[in-house]
Structure formats: C-alpha cells, structure tokens
Amino acid sequence: MNWQQQSQAELEKILNVTVSTGLDTAQAKKRMKQHGPNRLEEKKKVPAWLLFLRQFQDMMIILLIGATLVSAALGEYIDALTIVFIVVLNGVLGFVQENKAEKSLDALKELASPTMRVKRNGNWVTIPSVEAVPGDIVKLHGGDKVSADIRLLTVNSLSAEESALTGESYPVQKSTEVLADKDVSLGERINMAFAGTLVTKGDATGVIIGTGMKTEMGKIAHLLSDSEKTETPLQKRLAHLGTILITGALILTALVVILGLMQGQPFYKMILSGVSLAVAAIPEGLPAIVTVVLALGVQRMIKRQAIVRHLPAVETLGCASVICSDKTGTLTQNKMTVTALWNTAGITFRSSKKGFPRSSYDKLLSYSVLCNQAAMDAKENNDGKIQGDSTELALLEAAQSTGVSYERLLSSYTVKKVFPFDSERKRMTVIVTDQAGQAYVITKGAPDVLLHLTTSIMEKERTEKLSALKKQHIHQAIESMAGKALRTIAVAYRPLQKDEQIQDVKKVERNLTFVGIEGMIDPPRPEVKQAIQECRSAGIKTIMITGDHKVTAAAIAKDIGLLPEYGKVLTGQEWKTATTQEKRELLQRVYVFARVSPEDKLNIVNELQSAGHVVAMTGDGVNDAPALKAADIGIAMGRTGTDVAKEAAALILRDDNFSTIRSAIKEGRNIYDNIRKFIRYMLASNVGEILVMLFAVMLGMPLPLVPIQILWINLITDGLPAMALGLDQPEDDGMKRPPRLASESIFANGMGWKIMSRGFLIGLVTLIGFVTSLHEQPDDLIRAQTIAFSILVMAQLIHVFDCRTSQTIFDRPPFENKYLTASVLSSVLLLVLVIYTPVFQPIFHTTALSMIEWLLVLALAAIPTFALAGRRLFKSDGR
C-alpha cells in the first residue's frame, strides 16, 4: 500500500476509522487479535536446557569428566560418581545464577516501556505503545519516540530524526501534503512518521498504518541484534584478568603434577588431582557472580526509583565526582503556585488560596490563559481534566481562582496558530482571533527575553512607549520577585494587521506590548538538602543547571544548601563568552548556572570532563539528549522526561528526584565494593588451595587433599558464601569517602596484598596441620588429609568475614549479613556431615576427628585472619 498517496478520506475508508472519534474499544480489541501486539519480535532466547549444558563446555570441566572416566575404567567407581555429582551440582549453581541474572535484566527492559496518546471512543487517552493497533488516531509531540508507522493528518512544525531507518541524522521536516509519487524513499515520505524514529520538535496527529513487525522498522528488525549484551568496564577487565589467572593456575597445577610424578605418585591419580586443582583454582564462577551482583544491585536501585538502562552505569556511578542537576522538579517539587503579580499599577502578593484583585490584573491573567497549552488541551479533551506543565497549570490556577475562566475565554477566542514553548527560546506564542475577527499575538515567557521583543507597555488600558525608566521598573520587579525564589513569567501582546503573515515566528514576535509579570513559587523538595550534604561529604559536587533567572536560581540554591558563601552563580551568556582558561577557573567556583540553554549544557559537560571530572548530568527535553549522551552518566526524568531524553540516558529517575541520584550513587559504590569483596575471597581461597598442594609436592610429601575434596571445597567456597558477600551491606554507607578513580585497579588499596598474604597463610596453616598429623600418626594418611581438608574449609569460612571489611575483622560486627551467616553455617554443617557420617567417609576419604584434633583445626584455621588482624595493634593501615 502506498500510504503517502492517500487522502484523509481514503485513509479513513481503508483503515475503517473516523478521525474525529478514533477506534472504539471493540474495534481495538478485534484489531489487536488480528495484528498482534505492537512490538518487534525478539530473537529466540537460548533455551534453559542449553544454558544448563553450557555450564559444562568449559575446557577444564571436559578434562575433568575425561579424567573421571579414566578413574572409573580403573575401578574407582565411587570417586568417579562423586566427581560427576559435584560437577553437576556446580553446573546447577552456575545455571541458577546465570538464569537469575538474565531474568532481572529482562525485567529492566519492561520497565522502560513507552506509552502513546491515542483517540479511543472519542477521547484522547494514554495507552502502553504495545496496545496500539492499525487505524488508531494518535498524537505526536516533540520528544516522543514514534512507536508505530503513522500517516500524518495534521502537522505543526513537526520534525523527526530518522537516522535509525535512513541513516540521515539531520531531522526531516514533516507535512501533510499528499504525495503523487508511488516510489519514494523512506526519507522522502514526509507525510509519514516511522516507528523507531524520534520527534525532535512540533506536534502532529496521524493514523497508524502499521504496527509491530509490519512497520518499516519491523521489516529490517531481523538485521538488528536486540540481544546485544553490554559488558561493564569491570567485566571487561575481569575477562582480561581471567586469562592471566587461568594461565597462572595452569602453570602452577602443571608444576604440582610434574613434581608429583617425579616423586613416583601414580600417573592417573596425579592427573586427576591436577585437573581437579585446575578446576578449583580457575575462578570460572567470577563473571557469573559479577553479573548476578550487578543485576541484583540494579533491582535494589529500582526499589529506590532509579532505573538503569546501561549496566556499565552502575559502576560509573561510583566514580561520579560532579552531579549537574536540573532545578525544576528535581531539586524542587515542580508544584508551582503564582504568588505575585506585577503590572504598572504595582505588585500584589497573594496571601491565601484566594485569587488576586481581578480588576487590576484582568488582562495579564486572561492572556496567560489564552497562551497556555494546558488550557488548550483541557478544552480539546473536553473531559474536565486539566493536565500539563506545572508552569502552565500555575498560571491557569491563578486565573481561575481570580474568576477568569479558561472555558469562557477559549470559547470566545479561536486559536489560529501555536509556537510551543521551548527552553531554547524560553517563550511561547499563540495567535488568536476574537469574535469580531481581530487577530492578536500573545507571547508569554522569561521576562528578560520578552523585554527584547517589546517596544511599548500597557498602562491602565493604554499603550505607552517603553521608556528606559519603565524598563528599569520592570527589572526591579523581576529582581524583587526572583529574590524571593519566584520563577517569573511575563506576558506581552499586539493586535495583528489584517493581512499579516503568521507563519514566521520572528516576524510575529516583535513590537509587542508588555502587559505584566507573574511570579510563582516552587518549593524545594524537603529531602534534597540532606542529599546534597551527603554528596558533599562523599566528595561529589552538585551543580544546579537551570533555565530560570539568575536571582531565582541563587535564592533556591541557597535555600537548599547548594550554594556556599564563596560559590558563584553564572548565566549561560557569561559562560559562553568566557575563554577556555577562564572556564577552567570558573568551574572551581561555580555552583549555579542560570538561563542556560541546552547547548551550554553540552559545553559544561565537556569542560568538566576535560578538567578530569566524572559527570552525572540530568535532562528531560529533546535538546538535552546530546549532553546526556556526552555525560559519563546521563540521567533522564521518568515523569517529565521525553522519550528522546530517556533514550539518550543511562539512568532514569522514576520520581524525578535529586535524592534518588544520591541513592543510586550509594548503591553503585556498594555494588562495586561487594564485587571486590567476593573477588578477594575467591582468589585468596584459590591461592590457598594451590599453595598447599604445591608446598607438599615440593617437600616430597604425600598429597594433602584428594581430588574430591578439592572439588568439594571449590563448590562450597565459590558457591554460597561468595554469593552472600555480593549481597553484603555497605561498610561505611559508602558516602564518607571520595569517589573512586575510574582508572583505579580492582586490586587497589592493598587488596592484591591481602589476597596473596591471606592465601599464602591459608596454604601454610593447612600444610602445618597436615604435617603435624602425619608426624603424630605416620600411618594414617586419611586422618592427615581430613585435617588438611577441614583446616582449608574452616580457614576460608573464617576468612570470608574478613573480606567484608577493608579494615580488619575486628572492625565490623561479623554476623550482620544474615545470608553470609547462613551460608557459612550450612557449609560447616556439610563439612561435619562429610567427616562424621559413615556413608560419606569412604566417598570423601575422611575419618572422624577427635576433640583435640578439632581444636588444632580451628586454631590453625583462625591464624590467616586473626594473625594479620593482630598486626593492626602495631600498624595503623589495617593491611
């Protein structure tokens, strides 16, 4: 079908819909059945069984299974069976972890699902985009992501960025003109909007002609990989570290095998020991646990209203050193109330919910209602619900409560044209005609901006020339309102000449007559003051970036404790004219940027980054997208943000609240700390396991551990306790220290030393226990091995508590983390079970230990953790 060639009447016929009423519920239901939900089909998921089998594709595991088969062939059936059992158990654990990670990451995608305005049963309603069907009449607005293919019916300065489809990054101007040509490329079908593209500005209505896989995007969807997995920098570094660790473990294991063979140990036994050791020592579970911990952290962030769109942001959050935050709605409540009015008759402050003296401000209030998107929408919707931007709502409320009714005004004036508000222009203009047919331009916007467009002023129903003195009066009024933290909006107008053109906004907005100013309060969010304070003590500077007036911004910044005595407030204009050198210096002192345009935001991000900062930047509008993309962490507003901003952001604040950024940073720091904790634990354990074997063969002794024991330890230590560490509570709430450097190694702050020293000691005490037992009872190798096995397990289970703190085990109450306590207790129980029950003894090559032997085990097992903690008495760095 060549949709671009059809007229509206033809479209209505083909799609069986009336544009004025849209589809009704029954029609929509039927079409949903027929066409299916409006979404692109995802690639088939990896089935669960394959995911499970994948756990065994690891080279070492295959080798281990091979070696097990050899031992089975040699008649060691129990050994072989047990090893297979442990390997399967390991696989199950890995599978559960991976599955969980995948599920929680999937859940994230759902959260960010978009919505759409459609006309159903004659009313405009918002529905989830998946529920849209062909024939639906829809509205598009600057900032929307188009979710279906749409033939446009009305257009008001609409442009769309279609690079996802056409590769052309320059926005395309849209129109409703019916195209004559049948074969036009997608980019030239200017009377259509396509799914997956972005509306950069303007408004439009249209009819859906294709949904889901039947959109142009759907046709090429098979070319896109939707299951693209983003690895975080840490995961990448771990992958690299993994190869080093694997090589190291393999070399050492080979050494153990060669030395063992040289001492005459049986060949198959040595090979099996070697392979088991390699399986145990290679931290193959690491990437999976990192993913699980990241995914669980992301879940916790959702509970705190922060939705992570890109996993790497979780880590970057912990490095953030500057937050550039919007003011309205993020630092303030976005609940505006007009509390002051000014015109040449004077200023009036409002003391109660009652309105203002109508006779003095009738024109000001009336014009602020005629030039008001919220009022126009309410009239059009005809459902009595007034929704919209809070500034517009405040103006509307001030008028209504003074007795100026929007219904009456909008029925006596006809709106001919709207130039919507945008934060670049900082104003909105409408052209209306009264019942006598006289047309007017009405503009409302930032007073300082409007002053440039006005040449006269209203004085008691008369139009006077705008003298320098009157300008000064206006400036005084602005300053006086702004000093009370009020956002100011001015209104101006002029009657239009008979045949004046109304298409060009520049020609329309000139020679205006200044009517007056409205000042509105937007109270700060109560929790923000503390959040800013916390960020400050965490070494993070908060900078306010606002489109508002300098004085308004400064007053609010002071109020919420953002602007210190020595802090500077700068306007976008002042910033623009500063040299690079000046900008560097200014950045150290500026806390508030006012009257900023979105392009300044991008420049501020760039300058902060080149000064070495890791920048988190908030934004909501279409024009904020470049700054959000450029920032290290782009943060979009969940409620007031446009789809375009959300698309560009790494993090979405569901509640638009600044303190949510603080919580996300705190969580980000905690997640990183926890990842470090279990890496430390797992690696120290592995070092201990390898060293005890290596020491023994070097000393020409029998092997202290049998393969099954090694695998068992690996299962117990790599398994639950490591997971539980990933869920640990933050050590110092994470916000009392400066941000981590992005380049910092995962082993920073002495962690490498801790891993090696603890690992070495774990190996050493295990060997000491083994040697002591052999010395006492030279014929009882099984006893000595049981002791070595128990020491190794217990030393690791004690050491796990040490890993919770960057100080020493004495510096944190050990049993705070109930998952950890439970996993350690169950590991101890399992150890006891394996040692004391006659069924397991032959399988695990163990024997019952006496009380005295247990004392020896515990005393030795405690050494690696407590001996080094004791050093703290003499040294203060806690290493």
Shortest CB 387 distance to ligand ATP, Å: 14
- Cα distance between residue 521 and residue 485, in whole Å: 7
**Pick from 28, 80, 489, 671: which binds ligand ATP (CB under 6 A)?**
489
Size of the site for ligand ATP (CB under 6 A): 21
Contacts of 878 (CB under 8 A, 6+ apart): 806, 807, 808, 811, 872
Q: Which of residues 265 and 546 has its CB atom nearest to ligand ATP in the complex?
A: 546
- Cα distance between residue 186 and residue 536, in whole Å: 51
426 binds ligand ATP (CB under 6 A): yes
519 binds ligand ATP (CB under 6 A): no
**739-768 binders of ligand ATP (CB under 6 A):** none
Which among 166-174, 290-298, 543-551, 571-579 is the span making contact with ligand ATP, rule CB under 6 A? 543-551
326 binds ligand ATP (CB under 6 A): yes
Reference 10, options 209, 188, 181, 255; nearest CA is 209
- Cα distance between residue 872 and residue 10, in whole Å: 84
676 binds ligand ATP (CB under 6 A): no
**170-189 binders of ligand ATP (CB under 6 A):** none
Which residue's CB atom is positioned nearest to ligand ATP? 547
521 binds ligand ATP (CB under 6 A): no
**Pick from 309, 444, 666, 676: which binds ligand ATP (CB under 6 A)?**
444
Contacts of 92 (CB under 8 A, 6+ apart): 52, 55
Q: Which of residues 427 and 669 has its CB atom nearest to ligand ATP in the complex?
A: 427
User: Which element (helix H / strand E) includes 347?
Assistant: strand 346-349
421 binds ligand ATP (CB under 6 A): yes
Q: Which of residues 522 and 607 has its CB atom nearest to ligand ATP in the complex?
A: 522
**Pick from 102, 548, 632, 673: which binds ligand ATP (CB under 6 A)?**
548
> Phi and psi dihedrals of 604, rounded to 5?
-65, -45
600 binds ligand ATP (CB under 6 A): no
389 binds ligand ATP (CB under 6 A): yes
45-52, Cβ contacts within 8 angstroms, sequence gap of 24 or more: 48/95, 48/99, 51/95, 51/98, 51/99, 52/91, 52/92, 52/95
35 binds ligand ATP (CB under 6 A): no
DSSP 129: G
- Cα distance between residue 646 and residue 625, in whole Å: 8
CA angle 419, 473, 372 (to 5 degrees): 20
Reference 203, options 856, 589, 642; nearest CA is 642
Q: Which of residues 561 and 878 has its CB atom nearest to ligand ATP in the complex?
A: 561
311 binds ligand ATP (CB under 6 A): no
Q: Which of residues 232 and 623 has its CB atom nearest to ligand ATP in the complex?
A: 623
201 binds ligand ATP (CB under 6 A): no
Q: Which of residues 102 and 392 has its CB atom nearest to ligand ATP in the complex?
A: 392
Shortest CB 518 distance to ligand ATP, Å: 10
Task: Count Cβ neighbours within 10 Å for each residue of 74-89 and write b for 16 or more, e otherwise.
Answer: eebeebbebbeebbee
Which among 82-90, 218-226, 438-446, 771-779 is the span making contact with ligand ATP, rule CB under 6 A? 438-446
**Pick from 119, 327, 541, 613: which binds ligand ATP (CB under 6 A)?**
327
487 binds ligand ATP (CB under 6 A): yes
| Paired sense of beta strands 149-161 and 615-619, if any | unpaired
542 binds ligand ATP (CB under 6 A): no
The packing angle between helices 468-483 and 550-559, to 10°, is 20
Q: Which of residues 350 and 426 has its CB atom nearest to ligand ATP in the complex?
A: 426
428 binds ligand ATP (CB under 6 A): yes
Structural contact between residues 517 and 329, judged by C-beta atoms closer than 8 angstroms: no
Q: Which of residues 593 and 712 has its CB atom nearest to ligand ATP in the complex?
A: 593
Q: Which of residues 61 and 396 has its CB atom nearest to ligand ATP in the complex?
A: 396
DSSP 324: E
677 binds ligand ATP (CB under 6 A): no
Structural contact between residues 796 and 807, judged by C-beta atoms closer than 8 angstroms: no
337 binds ligand ATP (CB under 6 A): no
Reference 315, options 39, 668, 10; nearest CA is 668
Task: Count CB atoms within 10 A of the CB of residue 607.
Answer: 18
367 binds ligand ATP (CB under 6 A): no
- Catalytic residue (choose from 136, 149, 203, 326): 326
In 3-state terms, the chain is what percent helix, strand and coil (to 5)?
50, 15, 30
- To the query of whether residue 326 is one of the catalytic residues in this protein, the response is yes
328 binds ligand ATP (CB under 6 A): yes
**Identity of residue 665:** I
**Pick from 546, 786, 790, 805: which binds ligand ATP (CB under 6 A)?**
546
Which among 48-56, 67-75, 481-489, 627-635 is the span making contact with ligand ATP, rule CB under 6 A? 481-489
Residues that bind ligand ATP (CB under 6 A): 326-328, 389, 391-392, 421, 423, 426-428, 444-446, 487-489, 546-549
**Residues assigned a catalytic role:** 326
